[in-house]
Amino acid sequence: MTDGLRTQTAARYSVLDLAPLRLGGSVAEALANSLDLARHAERWGYTRFWLAEHHNMPGIASAATAVLICHIAGGTRTIRVGSGGVMLPNHAALMVAEQFGTLEALFPGRIDLGLGRAPGSDRMAARAMRRGLHGGEEEFPAQVAELLAYFAPVQPGQRLQAVPGGGAEIPVWLLGSSTYSARLAAQMGLPFGFASHFAPDLLLDAIRIYRAEFQPSERLAAPYLIAGMPVVVADSDAEARRLATSPAQRHLALIRGEPIFIPPPVDCMDGLWSDAERETVEARQRVAAIGGPETVRRQIAAFLSATKADELMFTSDVWEHSARLRSFELAARAMGEFGV
């Protein structure tokens, strides 16, 4: 299986994109920007371009994740494209197998399927999506096993098949922000991605459990870890700190329950948040790399030293699309200095 998990001597780097909408922007603009970013990321040596399922969240345009994966994969040539992730309890496993089996048939050897167990939404949207679906997050392990079974080679006389999907060699990842998914990924012998880009508190505990309890499987012989990391890179530390006020304001809106469109940067966040809100936002961004090229290179090096991650998944939600491209370009250069 060509899944990007081959033997390596240095960490890879990838993109997590939510097709973010700028304040006053349009969905069409956000989707065009995502494709443009993917094309640039392909040239800059990024391994994957993943899109995340979210619902009822004004400011995010990646709800129809499989559709958007098709759009991105169709507009690129070599970069792997996938979900980071599909929230499996929202869906019938058979339909996910069919969707990703179709994507794999269209773009052979380039599709990844990352799975999460959270709704990717609020309770109202979760109820709307899961109407008619049995169970929920508590049935996640059984759903994952069912999905993997649909991807297995079709057996003679098998009456229920994923068509397309049966026999498709699609890498399946488990994603999470707690030790639960780390332990399940270890038990099932699957690669694991930790959402430290917004929930870093349990990162090191999850890594320890995943590596200590990993059981080799037909899909994966040894643990493979992706860690999420926000990056805001500019030509100077001062400019990066200013650009980083846009994602900070976005996190602030999220914890307030407000729409999370990307706002323009500000010179100073003083007066925009309370002390408690500042602490919450800064805790969510604790592993962020923010600064000029040399500052970010040091920050990334320290994060890699602490986690020994096989791959970093960068997010960078800044206001201007050109500045966002520049941030990802400089992050790629920083990774290149580590011998990737």
pLDDT exceeds cutoff 60 at 245: yes
Q: What is the mean pLDDT of the chain?
A: 93
* Residue among 168, 227, 166, 217 at smallest CA distance from 190: 217
User: Domain 12-336: what homologous superfamily?
Assistant: Luciferase-like domain (3.20.20.30)
- Alpha-helical (H) ranges within 64-178 are 65-74, 93-106, 123-130, 140-151
Q: Name the phi and psi angles at 12, rounded to 5.
A: -85, 175
For residue range 159-189, list pLDDT tens digits in order: 999 999 999 999 999 999 999 999 999 999 9
Q: How far apart are CA 200 and CA 247, in angstroms?
A: 16
Instruction: Decide: pTM greater than 0.85.
Output: yes
Sequence ranges of the domains in the chain: 12-336
Specify whether the CB–CB gap between 187 and 212 falls below 8 A. Answer: no
Q: State the pLDDT at residue 131.
A: 57
Pairing label, strands 172-176, 192-194: parallel
Q: State the pLDDT at residue 2.
A: 44
